[in-house]
Amino acid sequence: MPFLFRLAARLPLSVLHALGAVLGWLVYAASPTYRRRFKDNIRQAGVSASQARRAIAEAGKLATELPWLWLRPPTEKLPLISWQGDELLEAALAAGKGVIFMTPHVGSFEAVPQAFAARFSPKYGAMPILYRPSKFKWLDDFLRAARSAPGMEPAPTTTAGVRMILKALKQGRVTGMLPDQVPGDGLGVWAPFFGRPAYTMTLALRLARQTGAPMLTALCDRLPGGRGYVVHVEPLTIPLDQGDEVAAAALNIALEKVILRRPGMYLWSYNRYKQPRAQVQVDAAAPSSPRAPPRR
């Protein structure tokens, strides 16, 4: 598999995205479970099939662009990545409290840390990236190598990884998280997401409280024809002083607005409403206990 990744990384981005579009539709056609979840999720969000149609191809591009993003050198990535709202990032970093990038499953979320590492890490330091260690050694080694590219640091989803992120924020650096990813049991709270209870992460909320680091939304759009990416940085205001339940609900409302602006870029196949899996608490930054979902 690593050999195939390295081979695919040599292909032009336009070719990888074209292959990804085909792959996205093949998976959609071949998997009844995938189609059902896709349709259920857009229905729950009030999004029409025509609005979400593009997301089928975009999901395939997410998979095929990984070799290019992970293995191409920064000098080849920089010309194909532009920024909008980067002055917000510069101002936040100048305050010296670090920054928490909240990057939902919209567009090329894997490109955000790569874009930051290529442009900003030489000045502001490496960006720690959470990753879940794999039980397969070859895959774990590959993921660690990908997350250890220049300007990035791999941070496992363990107590040690959270401490790495906390240290980075206290040093004024940037970290990134997927705010709509279902955390492990005990690491979140139940909050409405498009009108349905979803187990929502609280780690970013608690890190922001502990460090004073501002949260910014970071989204990455794919340009047509494989011409590159545009990273959009936007402010994110969450009532951190009102407890995890209120803050998580506000976070989900903010995510809903982002998703509804780009319904053709969201990963609608993601099982956002699943039950959290058992996991040991990582540290004091995690919630003390999970809450049962409200009855519907």
pLDDT at 83: 96
Q: What is the pLDDT of residue 133?
A: 66
Measured CA to CA, the distance from residue 250 to residue 269 in angstroms comes to 23
Hey, how many other C-beta atoms are within 10 angstroms of the C-beta on 274? 11
198 occurs within a structural domain: yes
Do the domain assignments include residue 7?
A: no
| CA angle 18–77–8, rounded 5-degree value | 45
Distance CA 96, CA 187 (A): 27
Q: For residue 189, tell me if it sits in a domain.
A: yes
Tokens of 178: 């997927």
Q: Indicate whether 46 belongs to any domain.
A: no
Is 239 inside any structural domain?
Answer: yes
What is the full per-residue pLDDT of the chain (296 aa) written as tens digits? 677 888 888 999 999 999 999 999 999 999 999 999 999 999 999 999 999 999 999 999 999 999 999 888 888 888 999 999 999 999 999 999 999 999 999 999 989 998 998 889 999 999 998 777 666 676 667 667 666 677 888 888 788 889 999 999 999 999 999 999 999 888 899 999 999 999 999 999 999 999 999 999 999 999 999 999 999 999 999 999 999 999 999 999 999 999 999 999 999 999 999 998 775 444 444 434 444 444 44
Instruction: Write down how long the chain is.
Output: 296
For residues 22 and 60, give the distance between their C-alpha atoms in angstroms, rounded to a whole number.
Answer: 7
DSSP letter for each residue of the chain: -HHHHHHHHTS-HHHHHHHHHHHHHHHHHH-HHHHHHHHHHHHHHT--HHHHTHHHHHHHHHHHTHHHHHHS-HHHHGGGEEEESHHHHHHHHHTTS-EEEE--SBB-TTHHHHHHHHHTHHHH--EEEEE---SSHHHHHHHHHHHTSTTEEEEESSHHHHHHHHHHHHTT-EEEE-TTSPPPTTSEEEEEETTEEEEEE-HHHHHHHHH-PPEEEEEEEEPGGG--EEEEEEE----GGGHHHHHHHHHHHHHHHHHHH-TTTB-TTS-TTPPPPP----STTS-SS--PPPP-
Say if 178 falls within a structural domain.
yes
pLDDT at 245: 96
CB-CB contact of 255 with 162 (8 Å): no
- CA dist 262 → 64, 78, 88, 215, 267 (Å): 21, 24, 21, 20, 11
Quote the domain boundaries for residue 113. 81-261
Does residue 48 lie in a domain region? no
Q: Is 17 inside any structural domain?
A: no
Give the Cβ contact number of residue 227 at 10 Å: 12
Number of domains in the chain: 1
Say what the pLDDT of residue 72 is: 87
pTM of the model: 0.88
* Beta-carbon count within 10 A of 284 CB: 11
State residue 102's pLDDT score: 95
Q: Which of 46, 61, 283 is nearest to 163 (CA)?
A: 283
Q: Please tell me the predicted confidence (pLDDT) of residue 247.
A: 97
